[in-house]
Amino acid sequence: LTGIPREQRAFQYLLAHAIPGDPHHILQTFDQWCYHCEHLSCVGPAKGRIVERLLLERAPLCVLELGTYCGYGTVLLAQGLPPGARLYTVEGDPEHAAVAEKVIRLAGFDEQTVELIVGPSEEVIPQLREKHGFTKADLVFMDHWKRCYLRDLRLLESHQLLAEGATILADNVLFPGAPHFLQYAKTCGKYRCKVHRASLEY
């Protein structure tokens, strides 16, 4: 009724309640909004712990996120990066990207740490090395359109953008589901697979 998208409403809530420059508090405030006001399909705290654990174990220096949305996952990833690491995040929707950019900067991450790239993933991935100085991803977090998971994984492979021993973390592969991606990951012989059981966000 207000004409303000819910992502923008969530950001206004962040501005009013979150501590600028405190990534952990930014995420907590997002969670409060999603639990008590309006649902947003962010990673959320339960699955967030899986992401945090993987970041701690792998200590990746180059991270690629596909599907920035409001920037929740981006802040979650960025706060767990080791010193000197860089995160590239790709969002196809310019309006979502505009909100995410403000959230990322509010959390205290500059462009040296987090680069937000706006555009369809199938167009951005082939240009990552030349246009953005991307090397090879140690960790990829997929949280965009599920139907794009397999296509984009193959693009990363064909453009040799995955480091040796890279970790691919893909959200919601069972529901709403990415069956072709899952089948490929399990049967192509390139990956060791583990499914993390989790509930839907919030």
Q: Which residues form the catalytic set?
A: 143, 146, 171-172, 201
Distances (CA, A) of 160 to 7, 17, 54, 65: 34, 42, 22, 16
Q: Would you call the peptide bond into 176 cis, given omega within 30 degrees of 0 as the criterion?
A: yes
Distance of alpha carbon 150 from alpha carbon 172, whole angstroms = 13
Helix, strand, or coil here: 85?
coil
Beta carbons within 8 Å of 98's beta carbon, 6+ residues apart = none
